Chains A and B, each alone.
Chain A
Amino acid sequence: MFYREAGQFKTSYAADMAIFPIRQDRIGLGLILVVAFVVIPLAGNQFLLNSILIPFLIFSLAAIGLNILTGYTGLLSLGSAAFMGVGAYACYKLSTFFPEVNILVWILASGFVSSAVGVFFGLPSLRIKGFYLAVATLAAQFFLQWCFARVPWLYNDNTSGAIEVSTHTLFGLPVTGPNAAPATRYLVVLTIVAGMAWIASNIVHGRIGRMWMAVRDMDIAAQLMGIRLLRAKLLAFAVSSFYVGVAGALMVFLWLGAAEPEAFNINLSFLLLFMVIIGGLGSIVGAFLGAALIHILPIALRALPALIGLNLGSATIEQLTFMVTGALIIFFLIVEPLGLARLWRIGKQKLRVWPFPY
C-alpha cells in the first residue's frame, strides 16, 4: 500500500539503470542516512557509539570487501583478517613516517598496500579452485600474522610488539588517539563506510560486477565469452583487499586505538565469512545485515540474562553465548540459506503486493 511503485515512470536510461529505482527506497535510504549522520551523533551515548556502531560499520566495510571476493567472484577466502592486518600495519607505518599528512590519506593509502599483497596471494587462484583455494588464503593468514609478530620493522621495534595510535587531527578536532571523542570517530567512520559502500554498489552493478559474476557462475564459460580470467580474478582480489585493508586501518585507528598481531587471527577471518554468508552472498545490503547480526547478537545475548533477572556467572553466559550463536547460525542457514538479504527482498515483495498475497 505504502510501498508501491505504481505511477513512477522511467523516462530515461539513467533512471532505468538506477540502483534504487523505487522512490520509497530512495526516501528510506535518505531517512537512514539522516538518522545515521545527524540523530545518532547527537543522541547516542558512548557505549552505543564505541561498542556497537563503530565496530558494526567497520565490520560491514570488511564484509563488503570479502563479499566482492567470495560472493561476487566466488573465490573462497579464509585470510581476510590478515588483510585487515596489512591495512592496519601499513597505515601505522605510513603515519609514523609522515605524521604531518592527514590521517585519512594514509587510511585510504593503506588500502592500496593491502591490495598489492592481496593480488600477490591471489595469484594461485588462477590454478586452484574451491576449497583448495582456501588453503592458499590460509597460507596468507598465517604467514602475514607471523610477519606482524616477528618483523620488528613493522611495529617500529616497540618492546610491547603492539602498534599504538598517536593523536591525529582533522579540522582541528582529534580523530584518533585517546583524546578523540566517540562521536567524531563515528562520523569519520560513517563517512568513509557510506562512501565506499556507494562505490562498491556501483562497481558490482556495472560491467566489472557482471564480469565477476560470470566468473563466479562458471569460469570456463566466462573465459569462452571473452572475459580474461587473470584480470577478472586479480581485480577482484585487489578491490576486495582494498576494502578489507581500509577496514583494518579503521579498526585500529578509529576503534581500538592499539592492536597486537593476535587481533588479526583466524577467528576474525571466520567471523567475517559468517557475516558474508549469514548476510547473503553477493549482496551489499547483506554485508550490513550480516555484520549487524554477527556483531550485535553476542552483545545482546550477554546482556539478556541480566535484563530478565537471571543471575548467571559471566563464564556461563560466555559459554551459553557460544552455544546460542552456533545454534542460530545453523538455524538461519536452514531457514534461509541465501541469507538475510534474501529475507529482506522477500519482505519488500510482500509489502509491495500487500494486502494481496501476490
Chain B
Amino acid sequence: MSLLYQLFVDPFVQMADAPDLLVQTLWEGFVGGVLYSLIALGFVLIFKASGVFNFAQGIMMVFAALTLVGLHEKGVPAWLALIATIGVMYVLALGVERIVLRPLVNQPDIILFMATFGLTYFLIGLGELLFGGSPKTMITEQLYLPSGALDFKILGGTVSLQKIDIAAAIIALVMVAGLGLFFQKTRIGRALRAVADDHQAALSVGISLNQIWVIVWFAAGIVALATGILWGARSDVSFALQIVALKALPVLILGGLTSIPGAIVGGLIIGVGEKLGEFYWGPIFGGGIESWLAYVIALAFLLFRPQGLFGEAIIERI
C-alpha cells in the first residue's frame, strides 16, 4: 500500500507542493531534450538520405568540439578555429563517402551500421592522438555565448535559467528551422528528399548519389559541431559525451527514424520524462534511474506504435 502511495500519489503531492521546483525540473528536462534532439537530428539526416544508421554521430560531435577547442588551445583565434573545424567536418564527410560508403553500396543495413562502428573506433583513436584524452573546457566566451543565470521569481519560489541553456534552445530552433527550409525550398533539398524516397529513381533522373551523401554527411557534421559546442559548454568536452549520444537512440526511435519533427518531439519527451522520473520517482528506486529510463519510455511508446510517433507506417508484403 505504502509503495503504491509512493509511486502514484506522493510524487504528485510533491509537484503541487513546490511548483517552482517542478518548473525548474521541467526546464532542465526541456533543455536536455533539446540537446538530445540535436544529436538525433544528425542521425535522421543521414538515415533519410543514405539509409545508414550512423552510430558515429556521437563521436563526430565529440571530435568536432575537440577540434575546435584543440585548435584554439594551439593559438588559433576562435573564429578561424570555427571555420577550420567546419573545413575538417567537410573533409571527414568526403573521406567517409569515398572510403567507407562508396565501396559498401547495396550492402545490408547491418553491415553499414557496423562500418560506422569502425568509423567510431577510428575517430576515438584519432581524436585522442591529436588532442589528448583529457577533458577540455569549451571556449564559450570566445564564441560569444552567454554565461551566468537568469533568476525568475514565480510561484512563490525562484527558478533559475542558465543563459547558455536559453541560447541552446534558440540555436536548436534556428537549426531545425534552417534545415526544414533547406529541405523544402532549395534545389539540393529537393534532391535530398528524392534520394530519401527512392535511391534508384533518384539516380535515374540524374541526381548524383555520391554528391548527395557528401552533402548530407557534411550537414550532419555541422549539426554535430553545434551540438558539441552546446554540450561542451554545459559540461566538459570529453569522450564521455559519446555515451550521452547513445541517449539519442531512444529519442530517434521514439520519434520515428525518418522524421525531423519526430526527432524534436522525441527528444523533448525523453528529456522531460527522464528528468521528472529521476527527480520525483528516482529516490524510491535508489536513484540513478536516469541511465535506463529513456529506453524504457521509448519501449513503452513503441509497444503501441512500432514505427515510432512520426515514422512511416510499416507495410509488410510477401
Interface residues of A (CB under 8 A from B): 76, 124, 127-132, 134-136, 138-139, 142-143, 145-146, 149-150, 218, 220-221, 224, 266, 270, 273-274, 277-278, 281, 315-316, 318-330, 333-334, 337
Contacts and interface: CB of A to CB of B under 8 A. Distances in A.
Which 10 pairs between the two chains have the least Cβ-Cβ distance? A322-B125, A326-B121, A326-B122, A323-B125, A329-B118, A139-B295, A142-B292, A330-B118, A319-B129, A143-B292
Contacts of B307: 132
Interface stretch (B100-108, B151-159, B178-186, B224-232): B100-108
B253 interface: yes
A281 B114 CA distance: 12
B292 A326 contact: no
Contacts of B302: 124, 127-128, 132, 135-136
Given A135-B250, A138-B246, A337-B107, 16 more contacts: A129-B306, A131-B109, A132-B253, A132-B307, A139-B292, A142-B295, A150-B286, A220-B318, A277-B114, A319-B133, A322-B128, A326-B118, A326-B121, A327-B122, A328-B118, A329-B117
B60 interface: no
B249 A127 contact: no
Interface in B267-295: 285-289, 291-292, 295
B123 interface: yes
A330 B125 contact: no
Nearest to A266: B246
Contacts of B109: 130-131
Contact of B100 (A139, A318, A330): A330
A138 B249 contact: yes
B253 to A, nearest CB: 5
Contact of B133 (A315, A321, A325, A330): A315
Interface in B30-49: none
12 contacts: A129-B314, A131-B253, A132-B257, A132-B302, A135-B299, A139-B296, A139-B299, A273-B117, A319-B133, A322-B122, A323-B126, A329-B117
Contacts of A327: 118, 122
Nearest to A328: B118
A328 B253 CA distance: 29
User: Most chain-B Cβ atoms within 10 A of its Cβ — which of A128, A134, A319, A326?
Assistant: A326
Contacts of A315: 128, 133
B99 interface: yes
Contacts of B164: none
A130 B307 CA distance: 10
A316 B314 CA distance: 47
B85 interface: no
Contacts of A131: 53, 109, 113, 253, 257
B215 to A, nearest CB: 21
Given A135-B299, A136-B299, A138-B250, A146 B289 contact: yes
A34 B246 CA distance: 45
Contacts of A130: 109
B52 to A, nearest CB: 11
B306 A132 contact: yes
B135 to A, nearest CB: 15
B111 interface: yes
B53 A333 contact: no
B316 interface: yes
Contacts of A326: 117-125
Nearest to A149: B288
B306 A329 contact: no
Interface residues of B, number: 51
B92 to A, nearest CB: 13
B298 interface: yes
Given A274-B114, A333-B104, A224 B318 contact: yes
Contacts of B115: 329-330, 333-334
A143 B250 CA distance: 14
B263 to A, nearest CB: 14
B126 A146 contact: no
B191 to A, nearest CB: 25
A142 B292 CA distance: 5
Given A132-B302, A139-B295, A142-B291, A218 B318 contact: yes
Contacts of B308: 132
A224 B316 CA distance: 13
Contact of A143 (B99, B107, B120, B295): B295
A327 B302 CA distance: 35
Nearest to B123: A326
Contacts of A132: 253, 257, 302, 306-308
Contacts of A328: 118
Contacts of B291: 142, 145-146
A142 B108 CA distance: 27
A158 B99 CA distance: 50
Contacts of A277: 110-111, 114
A107 B250 CA distance: 34
B111 A128 contact: no
Contacts of B103: 334
B122 A337 contact: no
A136 B297 CA distance: 10
Contacts of B114: 273-274, 277-278, 329, 333
Contacts of A145: 291-292
B189 to A, nearest CB: 25
Contact of A146 (B117, B120, B253, B288): B288
A88 to B, nearest CB: 19
Contacts of A334: 100, 103-104, 115
A326 B55 CA distance: 13
Nearest to A147: B292
Contacts of B250: 135, 138
B205 interface: no
A321 B111 CA distance: 22
Nearest to A70: B110
Nearest to B307: A132
